[in-house]
Every structure is written in structure tokens, then in C-alpha cells.
A = this chain, B = another copy of it.
Amino acid sequence: MEDDAAGLSAIVLGAAAGGGFPQWNCGCRLCRLARAGDPRVRPATQASVALSGNGAEWVIVGASPDLRQQILRTPQLWPGAGLRHSPIVAVVLLGADIDAIAGLLTLRERQPFTVYAAPPILTNLRDNPIFGVLDPAIVTLRPFAAGQTLACGAGLELTLLEMPGKLPLYRETPGATIAEPGEGYAARLSAYGRSTLIAPACAQVSLPVRRWLEDVDLVFFDGTLFTDDEMIVAGLGHKTGRRMGHLPISGAGGTLEALSGLAARRILLHINNSNPILLAGSPERRLVEAAGFEIAYDGMEVRA
């Protein structure tokens, strides 16, 4: 960029999957290393990215339960002049799981902004009176269908894209064994002809997904699990990654393979505490880096 003010800026507010890293009740090796302050691992809050096209206002993609903490440590998101102010002009929701929406509860205190989300996500909010704490006279919930494009503030254009995925955990059918028809989305944001795709949950790189990936300069992509059966092998769960709506990084049809050959800068986001790429120097992390991928961390700043 010749002009520092022009361009697309992104700040990773949180790099981790639901529960964060370390997770409150997890005694796995990586969580124990994180609690012990081992320098090979970097604690991470739950996934969220702040974006700006004008350097002054910001759009938050993903309302993580850690949002208060994330704002406090990010000076770009602090209030400007006046008794009450925020440079956050909009929040984009990509799913309705706790780690994707609970941060809205932090954004109370009579501050105007707009929430952009597909209708099924907003229905989830409306089904929970607790979100009424965002007074509709002050905070606008703006239903926004996948495929449309609009100016969402902060000098950015926003498009929502439907992603192969799953229902929020608290609305799953007990007997479901495969990924259900999704309510998960990716966001494409652009400014000054530069663009990014933010996809923290993707169960499959279908042909349309691949085309969207080929069309942007910067990709934040689902880095939840390294292997599809990672949670099962670690004794931490009984579901595969794909069943949870997350393509694994490795293996046939995994992210390294499916995102190979892209021109875009590729950054893995939404990393689960079980994922060995969280450990500096691990073979898995080296493999990912050798394939040309970066691994998001809290506070990472990126320009596109």
C-alpha cells in the first residue's frame, strides 16, 4: 500500500476454537503446557477477526465470548472522544454456536452498531430473550442473505457465503451422525479492490467454496483440527471433525490439499486446543508451514 490509510486491515482478536486455549476444564498436554506458561505454546482466545477499510472504524467478524478481553487489549478498538464511543460500527455473525455469538452480550451499554447475519442466525438470537439486552432502538439486527453485497461500514463491502457445515451444537438432533444442513457462513470483505475471506468453519471445500477462495487476496480458514479423528484419539470427544462441521487440515481432501495452489495468503484460524499445530516445532506445525500456510495468533495484524 502506498497510502497507509488505504487498504484492508485485519486484526486477529482470537485464534482459538470454542472453549479457547487452554480450555477451562481440559487437562490435555497442550492445555497443561499453556497453563504452565511454556514458551512453545501461546494461549489464545476464541475466534474473532476485526477488519477495517479506513483505519478508523472496525467491523468485528465473530462475536466471541472473550470479546470484552479482546477489545481491552486492542487499542484500535478503544473509544475515541466523548463519554461513550466505540470505533466498532458493525458485527458480522457467521454461525450461532456459543463461541460465535455470546460476545454480543458484551456489546451492551447503549452503544449503536449493526449486526449483519443471515436470517437463520438472527432467528437464533430472537429465540433467546437474553439478547434483548441489545435494545432494538439502538442496535440494528440486519438480516442479510448469502450472496448479496452491501457496504457494512468501516469502508468495507460485505458478502456472506453459505458454507458446508452443521447446526449449532445446542440445536443438534440427538441421532445425527453426519453434518446436517448448515447454518454456517463465511464472510467476504473488500476495500480498495483488496479482499479477504473469513471461514472459521467449513466441512468441505466444494466447487463454489474453491471459487470464492480463488477470488480473494487473504484467507482466514478453518484450522480447528489437524486430523479428522483427533478428538476421538485424544479421548476428548466422540465425533469426527467433519461431523462437527470442520474439515481437518491433513489427509485426503483436507485443508492443505483443498487450499493448495491458491494465490491468496492463507492463515489458519479457529484452532482447537487438541490441535498439535499449537505447539511450536511440532512436526504437524512444520508441515503446515512448509505448505505455505500461516497459523493465526491473538493480536496478529495483517494487511491485504
Contacts and interface: CB of A to CB of B under 8 A. Distances in A.
Interface stretch (A127-135, A156-164, A200-208, A250-258): A127-135
Interface string A104-136: 011111010000000000001001111011000
B19 A109 contact: yes
Contacts of A234: 83
A129 B84 contact: no
Interface stretch (A63-71, A188-196, A241-249, A263-271): A63-71
Contacts of A83: 26-28, 234-236
Contact of A129 (B25, B65, B106, B127): B127
B129 A171 contact: yes
Interface in A71-88: 71-72, 75, 77-86
A80 B25 CA distance: 9
A24 B133 contact: no
A262 interface: no
A40 interface: no
Contacts of A130: 98, 101-102, 124, 128, 130, 170
Nearest to A237: B110
A79 B23 CA distance: 10
Contacts of A80: 27
Given A78-B35, A102-B105, A105-B98, A133 B170 contact: yes
A169 B130 CA distance: 10
A289 to B, nearest CB: 27
A84 B274 CA distance: 12
Contacts of A85: 25, 27
B170 A129 contact: yes
A276 interface: no
A102 B133 CA distance: 12
B98 A108 contact: yes
A78 B48 CA distance: 25
A124 B128 CA distance: 10
Contact of A65 (B65, B71, B109, B132): B65
A223 interface: no
A53 interface: no
Nearest to A71: B24
A69 B128 CA distance: 24
Given A25-B109, A31-B79, A98-B105, 9 more contacts: A24-B72, A24-B77, A24-B86, A25-B107, A65-B68, A66-B69, A83-B236, A98-B108, A128-B128
